[in-house]
Chain A
Amino acid sequence: MTGNLFLNMLFHPSKVFEDLSDENADTMAVIRRYSLLIMLLPPIFSWLGGSQLGWRLGGSEPVFFDTTGSIVFSFFYFFILCVGFLGTVTISKWMATTYGAKISLSLHLCLFTVICTPLVTASLAHLYPDVFFNALVLVPALIWSTTLLYKGLPVALGISPEQGLLMGSSLVAWLLVAAVSLLGLCVSLWTHGAGTLLGL
């Protein structure tokens, strides 16, 4: 766990996974220094972009949020990210029992901090809040994070690559379901009057 951990998480994740597999790894240091920090990045970028440039949803005029609206939006964004992150860590810890992996909570927190680092770094795209531009940047980052999930699980949790692939696919299922649930929740809130004005 030496050197610039953030850069290692981005460019040498395999080394970080190997370090994490060490029984004496200082996982708490990763959690203290990075886990919370990376959860803060997307909402901050989103707040800056949304309040300064306005979101382009594909229509002609960008949609601006007022100061209160953008702060509330960013706060909920942060809240949802934390719930999603902690939910995924909890599910991963729960699945670890089935697949014979290490079940230390701090290890799972660390592991998912590394896995989602490319995704939160790509949230820099929120500074230019155009939906397509964000999709263009975030989708490859998501695929990168998915690859890290499959590669990192067996190394960090001390299981065979086969079990890693099974556990990884189960977690992909959970993540897809969580993502579509979030989409459904947002749409339901919009149709019940929260957010943008809809002609319903």
Chain B
Amino acid sequence: MKQDSQQFYDDDIVTRLVQFSLLWAVVAMFVGVYLSAELLWPDLDFGQFWLSFGRLRPLHTNGIIFGFGISALMATAFYSVQRTSHAPLFMPKLAWFVAYAWQVVVLLGGLSLLAGWTSSKEYAELEWPFDIAITLLWVCFGLVFFGTIARRKIKPIYISNWFYGGLIIVIAMLHIVNNLALPVSIDKSYSLYAGAQDAVVQWWYGHNAVGFLLTGGFLGMMYYFLPKITGQAIWSYRLSVVAFWAFTYSYIWAGPHHLHFNSIPDWVQSLAMVMSLILLAPSWATMINGIMTVSKSSAKLHNNPALKFIVLSLAFYGLATFEGPMMAIKSVNVVSHFTDWTIGHVHSGALGWNAMITYGVFYYLVPRLAGRELHSLRLANIHFWMALSGTLLYILSMWAAGVSQGLLWLSIDGLGQLSYSFNDVMASMKPYYGLRLVAGMIFLSGTLLMTFNLLMTLKGQPSVKVRPPAVATSSGVTV
């Protein structure tokens, strides 16, 4: 059996997962733009059920989360865990299986949503056959990841692996518990939970999927790639570890803030509000750690689109993690709940944080995987400004729409009657939805530019072969 140092890192899998992630980004963002057009012109469904808002919306969210997001997380987890362990992937054939089978599940799952199969649970709409498939593949993903860590040549486990590990363990727990259901046919099952309990479990899942996947997983990305790109060690490693445990402890309690003023006990709502406010501390500790790491790097930014995107993603991470706890305050939530302010908040995270940090990492990763310069630096710089303006326009239009909706829906006249009908209010939203459509088109166009740029960079190039370092000292310091 060959020694690890004589083998190469398994980077072909990483390249393929990046390509899949790009594909899903384009598809799912196009569906998002189409949905925003449907809100302006409902006839765009052409009377077809599969084109209706109710079926396309979960396709958009699942495509982004499971297709774009998780493919990117698998790619970066596989890339970074090898380098931080100085060992190739454990069971590489299983890793290949996970990479391809995951795409099949996303594709078939997406088609099932279009066909109307749904559990009706937000971000967990896929029916039981897909839930089982996801569980099995997730266990395989965990096996490859933790197996690689187990055969590491460096004693400490680097902080990015803590976040990726947290992602794998917590998402497995959330996915299994929330999707426990009684199947009645191939396309229908009923949740084991009933009524308010179902709602509490669902938002325990929903909020922590945001927490441990869209936040924790992508923080894993940041902690590995930011020091690599800047050439600087993390500003405070101790702070990163403290923030990890504080984040893990406080996030898990915050889910019921999605159920403010609903039929769950008031104390549960208040507890969720308090824990959401506490969550600000670890979130901002991480942001400050990232920004201070970047601030020590002076000359690395020139012609470096990767770092530009990551710096900007930290700014939006700061916004989203401040806005979330603020919206969990009940006196704010009473206005913001069920309005487009929530949609704006989600997209400040999804576009500003998740997409931008992924784009930054891809701009760093792809030239290294291909062993050549980025195809076009100019396109990457244009993409940066398109992503920034698209995200800002999206957020601002949804802030304006959301606050207007909240105020108009709650406005009463002197007799205590509602001042505006629901129809009036929604009719007045069209201009904002128009702005949102423009914002989405700008962001999608930027993503298309990046996809073209990265695919041209990869075109015809096999992945560069990299060996793990030959010598590692027993103290963990590599030479």
Contact = CB atoms under 8 A, between A and B. Distances in A.
Is B one of A's binding partners?
A: yes
Interface of A: 57-60, 98-99, 131-132, 135-136, 139, 142-143, 146, 160-163, 165-166, 169-170, 172-173, 176-177, 179-181, 183-184, 187-188, 190-192, 196-200
Contacts of A161: 301-302
Say whether chain B's binding surface is mostly helix, strand, loop, or mixed: helix
Interface in B421-439: 424-425, 428-429, 431-432, 435
Contacts of B105: none
Contacts of A146: 388, 392
In the A-B complex, the 8 residue pairs with the closest CB atoms: A58-B428, A162-B301, A173-B315, A199-B412, A132-B431, A176-B319, A198-B410, A173-B318
B323 interface: yes
Given A187-B406, A197-B411, A197-B412, A177 B331 contact: no
B176 interface: no
B418 to A, nearest CB: 7
Contact of B295 (A98, A160, A196): A98
Contacts of A190: 335, 407
B424 A162 contact: no
Given A142-B392, A196-B411, A135 B400 contact: yes
Nearest to B406: A187
Interface residues of B, number: 59
Contacts of B348: 176
10 contacts: A59-B408, A60-B420, A139-B397, A142-B392, A146-B392, A161-B302, A162-B300, A184-B327, A187-B406, A188-B332
B404 A57 contact: yes
A165 B311 contact: yes
Contacts of B393: 139, 143
**Majority secondary structure of chain A interface residues (helix, strand, loop or mixed):** helix
A191 B335 contact: yes
B295 A200 contact: no
Given A59-B408, A187-B336, A190-B407, 14 more contacts: A57-B404, A58-B404, A135-B396, A146-B392, A173-B315, A173-B319, A176-B315, A180-B322, A184-B332, A187-B331, A188-B329, A191-B331, A198-B407, A200-B410
B201 interface: no
B308 interface: yes
B294 A59 contact: no
A150 to B, nearest CB: 9
Interface string B464-479: 0000000000000000
Interface in B279-309: 287, 291-292, 294-295, 298-302, 308
A163 to B, nearest CB: 6
A58 B425 contact: yes
A177 B302 contact: no
Contacts of A197: 411-414
Contacts of B332: 184, 187-188, 191
A176 B326 contact: no
Contacts of B411: 59, 196-199
B452 to A, nearest CB: 24
Contacts of A143: 389, 392-393
B435 A135 contact: yes
B323 A180 contact: yes
